[in-house]
Amino acid sequence: MARAYGSTSANEAEWSDTDILAKAHDIVETFLTFLRLERPKSDILDAGCLPASKASIISAFRLVVATEPRDEVRETLLSAGHVLAQFQDGIGPRISVTPACVMQAEAAHPAGAKQLDDVLRQVEEDTRRLRHLLGKASAIAESRYHRIHSQTPFQEDGTYTWYGHA
């Protein structure tokens, strides 16, 4: 996001709403660039390789989605935000989740299978949580922007109120 303003304060407690929103856009843009380079597909990766903390990226997505007036952009952001579920703490090397032929599979490793089940369970829980959080943010934007554009501030008699009419 190009900035037409500058933050005169290095102290985050003194940031304006504009500064906070710009920072959220920067974090989301950095994450989207990271996704284009990393191409996680259906793999599971360690959260430590993210360009910022997972919590800050989630917060940034929530803010950007909640303030996005365009439905199609919001949907794209939601899809990208859901990919965060594939990043989990303590994974270590990338886990490639691709179908394998049973005939070519090596002997089963019960400990490895249990670890994979645990990771997949974490991803599933995280996916549900992210869908809920980002869905709420999208609903905020949808109610805000659709309500504004669906009601005219003009009454039939020509009078005007800035907040619309019930």
Tell me: pLDDT of 51 over 50.
Answer: yes
pLDDT tens by residue, 141-158: 888 776 555 555 566 676
CA distance linking residue 3 with residue 20, whole number of Å = 12
Average of per-residue pLDDT across 33-51: 92
Q: pLDDT tens digits, residue range 55-87?
A: 999 999 999 999 998 889 999 999 999 999 999
Q: What is the pTM of this model?
A: 0.71
3-state SS string over the chain? CCCCCCCCCCCHHHCCHHHHHHHHHHHHHHHHHHHHHHCCCCCEEEHHHCCCCHHHHHHHHHHHHHCCCCHHHHHHHHHHHHHHHHEECCCCCCECCCCCCHHHCCCCCHHHHHHHHHHHHHHHHHHHHHHHHHHHHHHHHHHHHHHHHHCCCECCCCCECCCCCC
Q: What is the pLDDT of residue 114?
A: 77
| Residue scoring higher pLDDT (6 or 58) | 58
Query: What is the tens place of the pLDDT at every residue in 13-24?
Result: 788 888 999 999
- Give the pLDDT of residue 7: 45
- Amino acid in the structure at residue 49: C
Domain definitions of the chain by residue range = 16-98+111-150
